[in-house]
Structures are given as structure tokens and as C-alpha cells.
Structure 1
């Protein structure tokens, strides 16, 4: 079974002469693979969901169906959370740039984008309150200063912790999308 989200880095490395390798230009795509921390958290969530589903089956056989339905609903929430966790990140298309968070999604058309740049600044470590020195990719919208821009991705988030080269490739790819579509 092909897993296209695992081949993003290999496609980027294989196409040295093409600055933006993609098949269908109109689809939203993440220009990098989800990181190992994000995939591990989602896998553990799905493992927990399988135990909760098993518990729902046992409750359905031995107790009331309403109790089993509540536990089954809880398992569906855990599965939905794991899938949302895997969708988090920066997505690009010819229409604009999309930053998908766990609970929110912000989309900016390329006409609204003033600049996409990488800066050295204190960043949150895995989204926790602790900050460390790192790099962040910032989206600066028209009429907004770079100081107030929230980072799209950092070297210490769940996708790039311990993978500085992958952050550089992903940031370069997003910046290339911005340069290509701001020119039009």
C-alpha cells in the first residue's frame, strides 16, 4: 500500500533540478513529512483508542448498551484527535498558505502574504511553555509587523525536534511557494 506522506522528503531530494516538485498543483499539500514525535503521539493515541474500543465491546456484551455507547464515543474522540494531530502543520497550494493547529486552522491567500521568512528567536519546546533558542518560520501578512507574527513552524516543534536539516528543507520549500505565488 503506498503511503504518500512518507515520500515527501525523497521526492524533494530526487528532484534537484525542479524547485517545487508536485503532481497536482491545485491540492493543498504539506511540503514535509510529519515528524517522529507527532507520529509517535498519534500512534500511542490510536493504541489507547483500541483498548477503549475493546472495553466498549466488553461493556456492550456484559452491561447496558448506553454505557457501551458512551465508551465507544470516547474512543471515536481519541481517534479523531489522533487524526487531527497528524494533520497539524503548514499546508500550501496555489490559493495560499494554511496553518493547521489542533483546534484552529488559519488560511492566508498569497495576496495577503507580505513575506515568509526564517528567523532566529526563542521558540517553544514541543509546544510547552519552556522556550529554547531556535529557528522559526514566520508568516508576515500585509500591514503586519514581523514582531507580532506567530511562528508557522519551529526547529523544536513535534515535526522538527532533532531534525534541523528537515526544518531547513521544509522552510525553503514554503518560502519557494511564497516567492512563486507572490510574483503572480
Structure 2
């Protein structure tokens, strides 16, 4: 199948950049995630978007049947589902020259670089795929200068790194490198 080899050919032709090297077109002043969203997170968002498309289609059918209030409710539910799907993909740690931002599904926390003391991994009970069930795993912990730490968002049992421990280690190192790079 030719489309399977096209991706490998593009990678072979693409210029290689060092891990710490920035691309010439990259905007370093904007918020960016130093790791990619994982397959569980993207798959969950895709499933929510699929369900939202069904709800939008039902809103269309209800509107054509003549019940505009019911169609409006379905449309509002679909917009809410799309918002949740987009927010679900964005959950994680983001960095910029201003500081470190931790996005959760319903809220976010931004901390300036002088307020971050360390970023480390810790072995502790973590939530499995964000569900209430906890299992033993590793978490990315952000310690603050005023004491305490940010709530844990990035774990090796979360939607980004479930079943990919080496990807979690690389992401934790990338976030820690960003902290060191921006603080100095």
C-alpha cells in the first residue's frame, strides 16, 4: 500500500534537527506542550467528537420535524461535547517564557518561572486514565517556591502515556529541561 510508505519517505527527506534545537519557523513566545498527546487522549476526544456528530445530526432531524426547542437543546449539547473534546486534548503541562501552565479538564493554573523550584517524577498512587480508580505509578510533580506542589496531571497511567513508560520518561525530561532552560 503506497500510503503506508509515504510517511517513511517524508521522514527520510525531512531535515533532522537536534532535540534541543528549535525549528526556524517556531514561535518561542507562545504556549507549547513539550510532548505529544497520547493515543488514549486523542482516541477519547475522537470518540466524543463522533458522539457529538450524532447529536448534531439528531438536532437537524428534530429541527426538520418542527420542534425547534428540542433541536436547540440537542445543538447546545453537541457544542458542549465539542468543547469537552477540545479541552480533553489540551490537558497537560504547557511551557512558555512566561512560566509553566497546567491545564486540567475544567481549570488551569499558571505559575511564573521564579515560583517553580523543581520538576521531578515521583512513585505514588495515580489515577488510571483519569478515572477515580488509583494504581501505583509515576507522576510528574511540580514543586513550588511557596511550598507544596501543583495537582498532578501528567502520569504514566494517564491518557498520554498509558503503556508507554519510555515516552513518559522522555516527556518528564523534556519538561524538566524546559524549566532549566527558561529559568536560566
TM-score w.r.t. length of structure 1: 0.85
Does 2:115 align with 1:112?
A: yes
SS in 1 for 2:64: helix
Counting only pairs closer than 5 Å after superposition, residues 99-138 of structure 1 correspond to structure 2 as 99-138=102-141
Q: C-alpha separation between the residues in 1 aligned to 2:90 and 2:63?
A: 32
Is the CA contact (8 Å cut-off) linking 2:104 and 2:153 kept in structure 1? Answer: no
Which structure 2 residue ranges, 5 or more long, are not aligned? 1-10
CA spacing shift, 1:40–1:132, aligned 2, 3 Å = same
Match of 1:140 in 2: 143
Q: Which residue of 80, 85, 89 corresponds with 1:82? A: 85
Match of 1:174 in 2: 175
Q: C-alpha separation between the residues in 2 aligned to 1:76 and 1:19?
A: 39
SS in 1 for 2:114: coil
SS in 2 for 1:126: helix
Residue 152 of structure 1: how far off its partner (Å): 3.7
Residue 165 of structure 1: how far off its partner (Å): 1.3
Does 2:31 align with 1:15?
A: no
Counting only pairs closer than 5 Å after superposition, residues 22-41 of structure 1 correspond to structure 2 as 23-41=26-44
Match of 1:62 in 2: 65
SS in 1 for 2:129: coil
Structure 1 vs Structure 2 CA RMSD: 1.7
TM-score w.r.t. length of structure 2: 0.85
SS in 1 for 2:154: strand
| Count, aligned residues | 168
**Deviating more after overlay: 59-68 vs 48-57:** 59-68
SS in 2 for 1:169: helix
